[in-house]
Amino acid sequence: MVGAGRQTGAVGADPTEVLRQLASSSRGDRLAHLAALPDRPARLAAWPSWVPDVVRDALVDRGVHQLWSHQAAAADHAYAGRHVVVATGTASGKSLAYLLPALTTLVEAADEGGRRDRRPTVLYLSPTKALARDQLASLQALTGDRLPGVRAAAVDGDNDRDERAWARDHATWVLANPDICHRTLMLGHERWARFFSGLRYVVVDECHHYRGVFGSHVAHVLRRLRRLAAHYGADPTFVFASATVSEPDQTAGRLLGHPVVPVTDDGSPRAGAHVALWEPPIVAGRGEHGGETRRAATSEAADLLTDLVTAGVRTLVFVRSRRAAETVAAAAARLLGEVDPTLADRVAAYRGGYLPEDRRALEQALASGELVGVAATNALELGIDITGLDAVITTGFPGTRAALWQQFGRAGRDRRDALGVFVARDDPLDRYLIGHPEALLGRPVEATVIDPDNPYVLGPHLAAAAAELPLTDTDLDLFGPLAAEGVAALSEAGMLRRRSRGWYWTARERASDLADIRSSGGRPVQIVHGATGRLLGTVDAATAPATVHEGAVYLHQGDTWLVEALDLDDAVAVVREDDPDYTTTARSLTDIEVRGVDRQAAWGPAGLCLGTVAVTHHVVSYLRRRVGSGDVLGDEPLDLPPRTLETKAVWWTVTDEQLVDSGLARADLPGAAHAAEHASIGLLPLFATCDRWDIGGVSTARHPDTDQLTVFVYDGHPGGAGFAERGFHVARDWLTATRETILGCGCHDGCPSCVQSPKCGNQNHPLDKPGAIRLLSVLLDNAPAVREE
């Protein structure tokens, strides 16, 4: 039959072969790296002897016939009462680490009989409501009616009264998120006394999500949880599960405030795969000030999608926005139509947010082979079940290695080698990864960073803790070295009062209202859809003037909105649906003042510091730029008050003598420092799990507080989020990677892949690319051989 290769369900060409052919074509130089990841055989382990038959049978019925080594190891630790973190790859069955000990404990207690209200309980926490609901469904499918003592319930904002009451009175396994744990379970703990007094296991799933300010809040939620459990006579064992990051034991240990045993040796089998790194070519004269840019990653992805679909390779492309998903699908359809008109309708855009039946239809079409290519936003990660793909193309680094591998993990079927293609966007971090495949393929360097000592985070949790139970001197140790100071501040503000048994919460408001655990520093600004009054989300008060000012184009979960008005007094931004052909960038004036130095290191005459700074940010106007070309369409003034942010920063200085010796001309210093600052902000997310929008920078040829050339990189959240601190500790590696990125970029005068920044408040002016390389060389010449600790 003609066209059998494209027949429904048929197997297309080997995806890697398609890529190899491209590599020998005129586009060959864009394939920067192709790595073969060998398959990995499974390593099995025996079922622990303590697992009762009924639990084992239930798992066998669900297809778990044997255990992989890491599952058994982690489960053994947890059953023995040791806090454990299991950090292995996606789809490595991490849930067995807690299912085995937790189900065993519940089943055994039910067998022993005794009072039902004294039975053990389990708390499962996930970062999102949706994931908790998914887990509830799989737990129910596993246990059915056959496991006595397992009574599971999700506690979240969707509960009705009866459900909530049932969970409180009967559930032995509660699935919740940290927000509901903070507001409902803990502050209303007396009503949950049965549940807390039985608490044996706390599962913290997907714990790499708890980073930055959110992670710092969650760390205190867990401390409060331990204190409450102890009050009710319970001493739960914590089981953390995480995708692979570096130092998982430190991440989990910092979250818990107690040492945690790591289990990282992945015993699950993995099919072979190829990973390709693809770099779009430089196109001249399209960028800011007429400079160079690279061809858009989405255009390259559309071309690659076309090539793969033509060969019958089932391919999924991940992009950032719905608009990009449609653009990629439309471009590929057009190109495919030129090859063969029947191919054009075998690609589609998936934009998330569709009705469940639409999603199922799309999953079906992909599974049957009716659709061969799909372009999707990251929203696809939530609640869609697509497997059996041959290739995945990711445009732009999705922020963390874990997220990238999760996307690549969608490909692979029938034991054929899967293909993952990373297409670099025009960005320093992507540029670095193209030149350093080991950063993606080798040992991870990114650590999940939190800062529980941030006073803006700590204070509200001390208040909440006092509202739960009076705070005693011994409790303070649990909350860290700054807890005493925090309690004193709350007492001074009249919120806590000291009595013989400790500090009592005496303010009128609900203590939980003080801490919005997804943000920091004042009331977050609510993004409201003007036509319907629907709340779309929130942004931090500190960043609102730059991101949701009047006229701003605001991207939220892949949708594009236009801000009609921003009211900072009421903390509301009103938006409407719109999809203009331009983007907006705020222009601002920034001042930074050093308030205190926490740590410092001498790099020869140069210096590296970590400390507290006050950043005053004044958004004065915004630029509208045409999508694609980046041409400036207009500069609109804004009337917004300046805001001061007290936060943590890492900064470095070089002396005048060093600058004279380096031959850098005085006039070049501002551009050199500015360019080095931009590139370093672009690279920090490689080492700390932040977004480049979580951090900011200031550079100056002479700063009044240091009297030297100084480059600051600061946390964009009041009190800090741990990113600058991580920057201080890995400064040598971080700034070396920064220098290499600039040095290795093929452009002449600086481009978005090296020294230009999309969030520059100064229109990327002045920038001196060669100057930045020299300046960083001067600094790094005297860098110590080991990390700053």
| Chain positions contacting Zn ion, by CB under 5 A | 745, 747, 751, 753-754, 760, 762
Report the C-alpha dihedral over residues 100, 103, 105, 110, rounded to 10 degrees.
-150
Go through the chain and tell me how many residues it has. 789
- CA distance linking residue 513 with residue 81, whole number of Å: 34
- CA distance linking residue 151 with residue 156, whole number of Å: 16
CB 696 within 8 A of CB 615: yes
Report the C-alpha dihedral over residues 524, 525, 526, 528, rounded to 10 degrees.
-170
Shortest Cβ distance from residue 760 to Zn ion (Å)?
Answer: 3
DSSP-assigned letter for residue 232:
T
Shortest Cβ distance from residue 228 to Zn ion (Å)?
Answer: 46
The Cβ-side half-sphere exposure at 661, using a 13 Å CA radius, reads 10
Three-state SS for 359?
A: helix
Nearer to Zn ion, 640 or 745 (CB): 745
Shortest Cβ distance from residue 304 to Zn ion (Å)?
Answer: 23
DSSP E strands, 89-169: 121-125, 152-154
Shortest Cβ distance from residue 762 to Zn ion (Å)?
Answer: 5
Three-state SS for 640?
A: coil
Nearer to Zn ion, 175 or 586 (CB): 586
Single-letter code of the amino acid located at 422: F
Nearer to Zn ion, 270 or 431 (CB): 431
Shortest Cβ distance from residue 283 to Zn ion (Å)?
Answer: 12
Q: Which pair of tokens denotes residue 75?
A: 């489960």
Nearer to Zn ion, 64 or 751 (CB): 751
Continuous segment of H or E residues that includes residue 643: strand 643-654
Nearer to Zn ion, 699 or 708 (CB): 699
Shortest Cβ distance from residue 586 to Zn ion (Å)?
Answer: 12
CB 248 within 8 A of CB 262: yes
Q: How many C-beta neighbours within 10 Å does residue 357 have?
A: 8
Nearer to Zn ion, 413 or 765 (CB): 765
Nearer to Zn ion, 122 or 751 (CB): 751
Q: Which pair of tokens denotes residue 637?
A: 């003034």
- CA distance linking residue 184 with residue 195, whole number of Å: 13
- CA distance linking residue 503 with residue 675, whole number of Å: 50
Three-state SS for 457?
A: helix
């790591």: which residue's tokens? 262
Shortest Cβ distance from residue 311 to Zn ion (Å)?
Answer: 33
Nearest alpha-carbon partner for 420 in 280, 310, 313: 313
Longest Cα–Cα distance of the chain, Å, equals 88
Shortest Cβ distance from residue 715 to Zn ion (Å)?
Answer: 17
Nearer to Zn ion, 96 or 754 (CB): 754
Three-state SS for 704?
A: coil
Nearer to Zn ion, 194 or 703 (CB): 703
Nearer to Zn ion, 266 or 694 (CB): 694
Parallel/antiparallel/unpaired status of strands 152-154 and 173-176: parallel
Shortest Cβ distance from residue 723 to Zn ion (Å)?
Answer: 18
Nearer to Zn ion, 648 or 769 (CB): 769
Shortest Cβ distance from residue 50 to Zn ion (Å)?
Answer: 58
Shortest Cβ distance from residue 212 to Zn ion (Å)?
Answer: 22
- What contacts 704, CB < 8 A, 6 or more positions away? none
- CA distance linking residue 137 with residue 155, whole number of Å: 13
Nearer to Zn ion, 238 or 432 (CB): 432
Shortest Cβ distance from residue 169 to Zn ion (Å)?
Answer: 57
Angle of the 15-23 helix axis to the 297-310 helix axis, nearest 10 = 120
Nearer to Zn ion, 93 or 697 (CB): 697
Shortest Cβ distance from residue 678 to Zn ion (Å)?
Answer: 6
CB 96 within 8 A of CB 63: no
Shortest Cβ distance from residue 281 to Zn ion (Å)?
Answer: 13
Shortest Cβ distance from residue 681 to Zn ion (Å)?
Answer: 9
Nearer to Zn ion, 498 or 765 (CB): 765
Nearer to Zn ion, 371 or 745 (CB): 745
99-114 CB burial, b ≥16 within 10 A, e <16? bbbbbbbbbbbbeeee
Nearest alpha-carbon partner for 298 in 277, 317, 316, 315: 317
- What contacts 370, CB < 8 A, 6 or more positions away? 8, 346, 364
Nearer to Zn ion, 658 or 680 (CB): 680
Shortest Cβ distance from residue 752 to Zn ion (Å)?
Answer: 7
- CA distance linking residue 680 with residue 742, whole number of Å: 10
- CA distance linking residue 458 with residue 47, whole number of Å: 42
CB 647 within 8 A of CB 761: no
